Amino acid sequence: GQNIDQPTEMTATEGAIVQINCTYQTSGFNGLFWYQQHAGEAPTFLSYNVLDGLEEKGRFSSFLSRSKGYSYLLLKELQMKDSASYLCAVRDSNYQLIWGAGTKLIIKP
Amino acid sequence: IAGITQAPTSQILAAGRRMTLRCTQDMRHNAMYWYRQDLGLGLRLIHYSNTAGTTGKGEVPDGYSVSRANTDDFPLTLASAVPSQTSVYFCASTSGGATDTQYFGPGTRLTVL
């Protein structure tokens, strides 16, 4: 079966750096997405990786290793507004998105 | 409007009743999707439509039906609601292009009693 694994919850301090990991086992691979979802709101797109390596976008970076079935989202200079759930999703061979359950990130002052 | 809208925002429904959740997008996206999101689970695909006039079943289609008469609208119908259909429902559409990113509507919170 297809599976996306992410930690359920993480806690970090304002101003620090946090890395959220995602491992996947899917039928085929056509890209990996990270989304941010604040409580009670819709998911919003953060990043997309299809080739191995690091994609940097401001304070957020996303890394992919296809051979290891592994990705991480790196958040730098954490702000209180970064408190949210972070969802990892992989597009499979049928071009459908398979979603992880999300990682709830709690930022403490 | 800009983006994707969903209606209603929330609804409490008696079991056995019929309910249609509405979704409209003005971005001229071809593909549209319905997901449900439950605590502790990832988003699960209910139905999708790759283009107007076509629909397909996702991971959890039972008890739900969809139609896609035109590009903009993609309603989701619960023919006879059951308590296990209590969930938050998100409609999404994809942008096409290299990343084909999914964009989400604000969601409908449905409670079936």
Closest CA to B25 of B104, B107, B101: B104
Q: Which of A55-64, A76-85, B43-52, B93-102 has the lowest mean pLDDT?
A: B93-102
Q: Is the pLDDT of residue A91 over 80?
A: yes
CB-CB neighbors (< 8 A) of B41 in chain A? 101
Residues A12-66 pLDDT 10s: 999 999 999 999 999 899 999 999 999 999 999 999 999 999 999 999 999 999 9
Exposure string for A57-72, b = 16+ CB within 10 A, e = fewer? eeebbbbbeeeebebb
Q: Is the pLDDT of residue B3 over 80?
A: yes
Closest CA to B58 of B84, B24, B33: B33
Q: What is the pLDDT of residue A94?
A: 86
Q: How far is A99 from chain B (nearest CA, A)?
A: 5
Q: Touching check for B44 and chain A: CB below 8 Å? A: yes
Note whether A99 contacts B104, CB cutoff 8 Å: no
Residues B23-79 pLDDT 10s: 999 999 999 999 999 988 889 999 999 999 999 999 999 999 999 999 999 999 999
Note whether B104 contacts A44, CB cutoff 8 Å: yes
Q: Which residue has the tokens 């990832």?
A: B42
Report residue A80 as tokens.
């209180």
Note whether A97 contacts B102, CB cutoff 8 Å: yes
Note whether A96 contacts B48, CB cutoff 8 Å: yes
Cα distance between residue A65 and residue A23, in whole Å: 10
Note whether A96 contacts B44, CB cutoff 8 Å: no
Q: Is the pLDDT of residue B96 over 80?
A: no
Q: What is the pLDDT of residue B68?
A: 97
In which band, very low, low, confident or very high, does the pLDDT at B1 lie, cut at 50, 70 and 90?
Answer: low
Cα distance between residue A69 and residue A29, in whole Å: 9
Q: Is the pLDDT of residue B7 over 90?
A: yes
The residues of A whose Cβ lies within 8 A of any Cβ of B are 4, 8, 31, 33, 41-45, 48, 87, 89, 91, 95-102
Cα distance between residue B78 and residue A12, in whole Å: 41
Q: Is the pLDDT of residue A95 over 90?
A: no
Note whether B102 contacts A4, CB cutoff 8 Å: no
Report residue A105 as tokens.
């990130």
Instruction: Report the run of H or E that residue A90 belongs to, with start and end.
Output: strand A84-91
